[in-house]
Structure 1
Amino acid sequence: MTVPQAGRPVVFRGGIVLTMDDAHTIVPGGDVLVVDGRIAEVGTALTVPDGTHEIDASGGIVMPGMVDTHRHMWQTAMRAYGADWTLTQYFVWYYLQYGKLFRPEDYVAGNLISALDAIESGTTTSVDWSHGLRTPEHGWAAYEALATSPGRYVFAYGNIHAAPWEWTADPEVRKILEASRDDARMYGTQIAFDVSDQDENFPELAAYRAAKELGLRVTTHAGVWGATNDWGIKNAYDAGVMEEGFTYVHAASLSAESYQKIAATGGNVSLATESEDTCGQGYPPLHQLRKYGIPTSLSVDTSVWESADLFSQMRATVNADRALEHYLAHQLEPAETVTHVKLRVEDVVHMATRGGAHAIGKDDEIGSLEKGKLADVVLLKNDDSPTWAPLINPYGQIVYQAQRGDVHTVLVGGEVVKSEGKLVAGDLKGVKAKLESTVAYLEREVGDDWISGQFPEIPEAEVLYNPYQYKK
């Protein structure tokens, strides 16, 4: 394995280049030249500076680094623990019972492994929806873990253990938000909170105003069945605090009026389709977002029970949207047959790249391979896999054939963080040691519930009562 020295120009040679520019230009047999951390040129048979490190991209796809707009990174410390959970069981475990056990060092472990997880799968930018920061010490720890990790990170500060109008007023929290906002190592800062009560007094208004004072965007779980629905949109809209660039996560159980308000105020939606498919937020609403022209990005949500890569999210999004389209057609009288699907694989590749860049306000810097943009570049190639022959439709290959193991090379700002299929950035061994300590601590503290939490019983009778109410 040959990894170029930092700062050395890099050129990808002879791949299918998906630029994801406005025209979605594809360059067969194309080259991408990276100089000084930026895209210097995209074309064929490019002339490059002396000493340029060449990467053979033939038989592969060169694409922009993907952008994840909603990932609870701290929960990666419990990867796959809740594979059989419902949303209610997730709420109970993290919000009412054991989430409060996480120490600052456990947030560090979760963030560090999630950061490596992201870049290893070709996701070069992630929004860390860090919503369990119950003390400033937790906040500082989570922030510093992101700032020292390879990749780009937007720190979305949240605290599910207190009301948002309380913690956003805390001077110590304000210090963290300002430090992260002004830190060149970070790629942005947001405030993450939900409107969970149907309260006409709208106490969450104070949190919206705090975001405005600090010059930060808001990201909020909206349209989560039984938890955050139309009243949150109505209160925010009536108060005039829904602003362009705010992100509404899931948005799966909203009325037409709420979708119209998101569209009218320049909001965007982060879909976590695997989560919406399995957890109960509501049916993945891409059909509604398409109807109202709402910009859409994709996200992992939490690898405590879903996949940790955007290949899985792209595939789930296509499948969910097409399944609904066919189902609705079959319910008509007389029944109809869908002959041309509305959602195309190209569309979800856009959501995973340009869509994410737009959602975080960085479309002028990342999300496409265009001259002058930051060199966040991914090469998908696997010469040892029969799945990579023949290579015909690059969008179809990405969405329905590719996996994280096909991520050959990843650049972030021109620096190689994955090469020839292996991570070359970060301290994976050291992070695993931190995780071992965190898991041992949690298992000890949770006690007898550690095993039962992973394998919830299947009741003999239907359970009608939801023990969790999404409020303080």
Structure 2
Amino acid sequence: MDDRRTVLKDSDVLVVGDRIEAVGPNLPVPDGTVEVDASGGIVMPGMIDTHRHLWQTAMRGYGADWTLTQYFVWYYLEHGKEFRPQDVYAGNLLGAIEALDAGVTTTVDWSHGLQTVEHAEAAVDALEEVPGRFVFGYGNIHAGPWEWTASPDFRSFVERRMPRSEMLGLQLAFDVTGDPAFPEKAAFEVARELGVGVTTHAGVWGATNDNGIRLMHEHGFMTPETVYVHAATLSTDSYQRIAATGGHASVSSESESSCGQGYPSSWSLRAHGIPISLSMDTSVWWSGDLFSAMRATLSSDRTREHHEAHAKGDTVTNIALRAEEVVAWATRGGAKALGLDRLVGSLEAGKRADVVLIKNDASPVMFPLLNPYGHIAFQAQRADVHTVLVNGKVVKHEHRLVDTGLARARTAVEETVEHLRATLGEEAWQAGMNPEIPESKVLDNPYMYTEYADASTHTK
């Protein structure tokens, strides 16, 4: 995944310490080197997920049939506040381990359930226990970003727990409602003062729209460090503003296709030259691996291309979006979005050794191996992840995780599920899988910390 997208056959990757020493055929092997036989497999850079709500992993699959509105009802309006710090810890621990198991070596923890600093402490405790690379997206859906970013407790937390190391970075995670008063300005100013980027759900039907993009642009807060998650229901004007300011998008095609943020945005983003990364969003709904993300993105983008052509009476004879492009989005795209491209995202001498081996001699799907990009995007799955290195450390080998605390995660998650079921009551717990939609103006505004409501997505 270098700039030339070089594919090397019958070649070696030599890792010394935490770095890639060399890549090429017939490399000399230093004495004492541990050798991993990758024959019949594909060695690739670790994948990078730029938007995953790890704290919700403890509820894996619970919302399989939710719409986005039902997600808002459960987490934003009703039961999200029932999560204790230890429940955020449990979800983060399991979700972080799950990412490594699927060959995702860098994950943005879009942690918007941090009601208190104690919740944030627990979230970071979990991340530090897992030998992965993480970016902590600090957020709180229960309070205005202009409030929690101004809190002395938040500032103290950043000073104590956010060392800006290569293994744990920081973003501020909040959304912009489009309120003309632009109260989010104060939170952007804090991000600028701290020297960190902002990750924001933008272009989400019924929640965030073009007004938020315009306000960010007019006040000078659209920067190359800004990541726009989903970006699915924006106008040409908004896409042009993102492109002109060097922003990056995080596409969650499984999410956008299923729950209603808007049509998956890669087709529109490509048309405007906006750099793309991939993400899985949340395991409360979907799978937690980027193989699914690559397939869903290829499927939705190609569907749109065919659909647009058919509407004009044309036929697509050569597909625009190639498999190699989505593999790039799953690796280099994420690295560039997070400002980590000098460290990770490709297998090149000098970069950190975040390396994944796709190999499964027991699978009939792993041969013949003719097109490595197509194989990764359409054939491989998490069960085919043979070995994973993060910063030179083996965290998975021969299809089994190594010293990642899975038993501890199981116990923690069981306690969280028991707590939620007991707190909600069995009737509410069962009903929550298909929650009723309250008749309330809140549906025009899922953000309970503000009275502002934008009815632009609702016909009268």
TM-score range, shorter chain: over 0.9
Q: Distance in 2 between matches of 1:215 and 1:445?
A: 40
Q: What amino acid maps onto 1:368 in structure 2?
A: S
Instruction: Say if 2:344 is the partner of 1:363.
Output: no
Q: Which residue of 130, 137, 144 maps to 2:125?
A: 144
> Partners of 1:329 and 1:211 in 2: how far apart?
43
* C-alpha distance in structure 2 between counterparts of 1:206 and 1:282, whole Å: 29
Q: Does 1:205 align with 2:185?
A: yes
Match of 2:63 among 82, 107, 114: 82
How far is the alpha carbon of 1:183 from its aligned partner?
A: 5.2
Deviation at 1:400, TM superposition (A): 0.5
1:240 to 220, 243, 246: 220
Q: Which of 312, 317, 322 is the aligned partner of 1:344? A: 322
TM-score scaled by length of structure 1:
0.92
- How many Å apart are 1:317 and its aligned residue? 0.1
Q: Who is 1:116 aligned against?
A: 97
Asked whether the 8 Å contact 1:69–1:270 carries over to 2, the reply is: yes
What is the rounded CA distance, in whole Å, between the counterparts of 2:160 and 2:213 in structure 1? 30
Residues 1:272 and 2:252 aligned together: yes
1:92-126 CA-to-partner distances (Å, cap 9, x unmatched) read 00011101000000000000000100000000000
Contact 2:248–2:276, Cα closer than 8 Å, also in 1: yes
Q: Where does 1:34-183 land on structure 2 (aligned, <5 Å)?
A: 34-182=15-163
Q: Match for residue 429 of structure 2?
A: 450
User: In the aligned structure 1, how far is the partner of 2:226 from the partner of 2:330?
Assistant: 18
Secondary structure class of the residue paired with 2:90: helix
Query: Identity over aligned residues, as a percent?
Result: 59
| Cα RMSD for the two superposed structures | 1.5
For the residues of structure 2 that align with 1:298 and 1:64, how far apart are their CA atoms? 15
* Structure 2 portions without partners, runs of 5+: 450-460
Q: Following the alignment from structure 2 to structure 1, what is the Cα–Cα distance between the partners of residues 220 and 47?
A: 32
One-letter amino acid of the counterpart of residue 383, structure 2: G
Q: CA deviation at 1:88?
A: 0.1
What's the CA shift for 1:176? 1.6
Q: Could you tell me how far 1:455 is from its partner in structure 2? A: 4.2
* More moved, 140-149 vs 402-411: 140-149
- Cα gap change, 1:58/1:172 in structure 2, threshold over 3 Å: closer, same or farther? same
Q: 208, 224, 232: which one pairs with 2:204?
A: 224
Structure 1 residue 468: deviation in Å?
5.7
**After TM superposition, where is structure 1 displaced by more than 4 Å over at least 4 residues in a row?**
463-466
What is the one-letter code of the residue matched to 2:268? Q
Gap change, CA 1:243 and 1:338, over 3 Å in 2: same
In structure 1, runs of 5+ residues without a counterpart are 1-19
Q: Which amino acid in structure 2 is aligned with residue 370 of structure 1? A: E
Q: Distance in 1 between matches of 2:10 and 2:222?
A: 45
Q: How many residues align?
A: 446
Secondary structure at 1:40 match in 2: strand
Match of 1:219, SS state, is: strand
Matches of 1:193 and 1:320, distance apart in 2:
27
Match of 1:13 in 2: none
Structure 2 CA distance for aligned equivalents of residues 387 and 464 of structure 1: 50
C-alpha separation between the residues in 1 aligned to 2:379 and 2:434? 31
Give yes or no for contact 1:180–1:186 (8 Å, CA) kept in 2: no
Change (3 A) 1:465 1:86: farther
